[in-house]
């Protein structure tokens, strides 16, 4: 079992994930809202948290600072190296589909990246089942996906929907299949509808998921690049996301959707 080489190459040579959640208004909103949902749903520290596909460790570092015992796994060597530099949690190479942890060994499992880098449904189900295996009864699983509607909203917010025909074509294809074409500028990925996320959660044996829109309906404003120096508008977007987070008509307007379930 191996990770698609394009994913390794993208995060090693083409894109530095380490500061994404700090450097832009959209990234800051995603980080703050994710941390807010983690604080709300995770068991109290010092619970054992497995951060599966945790990248360079932005969320793991914050959780460790809050007293959690965190182990981060990621298949990208660069990410494991970056995460290790934090020094406050364990960072190891690993694949979401075959976790090295023992059964019932964690209080919570996070999958804040793996589900949108596994384009085969069977692999996503396998990753969710692995998370289920390693989380003790009464524990929590939290998983994030990218919304199927995010590319179209992104193109519109950046003013490219009428000027970039190639991007339009790729976005239309993605809306139909859910599979991202790396020619879009992003790597191998799958974009979910809320209904698909619920169905995969059930098929993995996790019951019914509670879904939350992470960035909320003002995300297109944040990604437009027009409000980078407007912390007040970032705060407004976060408040709006909080108010609308479980509105079934609004969830898909977020770039990312969070599923939460207890074992």
CA 133 vs CA 73, 98, 197: distances in Å: 16, 10, 19
Question: Rounded to whole angstroms, how far apart are CA atoms 254 and 195?
Answer: 15
Number of compact structural domains in the chain: 1
Question: What is residue 156's predicted lDDT score, i.e. its pLDDT?
Answer: 86
Question: What is residue 159's predicted lDDT score, i.e. its pLDDT?
Answer: 81
Question: What is residue 155's predicted lDDT score, i.e. its pLDDT?
Answer: 85
Question: What is residue 138's predicted lDDT score, i.e. its pLDDT?
Answer: 97
Question: What is the mean pLDDT, run by run of 10 residues, along the chain of 263 residues?
Answer: 90 96 95 98 98 98 98 98 98 98 98 97 98 98 97 86 79 89 92 98 97 97 91 95 97 97 94
CATH number of the domain that residue 121 is part of = 3.40.50.150
Percentage of the chain exceeding pLDDT 70: 100
Instruction: Tell which residue, 72, 113, 69, has the closest CA to residue 94.
Output: 72
What does the buried/exposed string (b/e) look like for 130-158 if buried means 16 or more CB atoms within 10 Å of the residue's CB? bbbbbbbeebbbbbbbbbbbbbbbbbebb
Rounded to two decimals, the pTM is 0.95
Instruction: Tell which residue, 117, 54, 113, has the closest CA to residue 88.
Output: 54
Per the prediction, the chain carries an average pLDDT of 95
Query: What stretches of the chain adopt beta strand conformation (E)?
Result: 48-52, 69-74, 90-93, 106-111, 135-147, 191-192, 210-213, 256-262
The domain of 53 spans 5-262
């Amino acid at each position: 079992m191996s990770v698609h080489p394009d994913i390794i190459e993208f995060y090693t040579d083409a894109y530095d994930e380490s500061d994404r959640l700090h450097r832009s208004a959209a990234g800051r909103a995603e980080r703050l809202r994710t941390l807010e949902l983690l604080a709300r749903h995770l068991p109290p520290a010092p619970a054992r948290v497995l951060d599966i596909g945790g990248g360079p460790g932005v969320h793991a570092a914050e959780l460790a600072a809050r007293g959690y015992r965190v182990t981060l796994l990621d298949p990208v060597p660069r990410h494991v190296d970056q995460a290790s530099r934090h020094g406050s949690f364990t960072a190891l190479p690993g694949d979401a589909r075959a976790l090295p942890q023992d059964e019932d060994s964690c209080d919570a499992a996070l999958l804040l990246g793996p589900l949108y880098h596994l384009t085969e449904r069977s692999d996503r189900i396998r990753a969710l089942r692995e998370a289920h295996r390693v989380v003790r009864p009464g524990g929590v699983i939290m998983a994030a996906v990218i919304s199927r509607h995010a590319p179209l909203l992104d193109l519109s917010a950046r003013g490219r929907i009428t000027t970039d025909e190639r991007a339009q074509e790729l976005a239309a294809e993605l809306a139909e299949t859910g599979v991202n074409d790396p020619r879009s500028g992003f790597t191998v990925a799958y974009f979910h509808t809320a209904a698909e996320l619920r169905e995969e959660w059930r098929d993995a044996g996790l019951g019914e998921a509670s879904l939350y829109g992470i960035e909320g309906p003002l995300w297109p404003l944040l990604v437009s690049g027009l409000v980078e120096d407007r912390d007040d508008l970032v705060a407004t977007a976060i408040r709006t996301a909080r108010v609308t987070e479980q509105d079934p008509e609004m969830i898909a307007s977020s770039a990312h959707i969070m599923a939460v379930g207890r074992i």
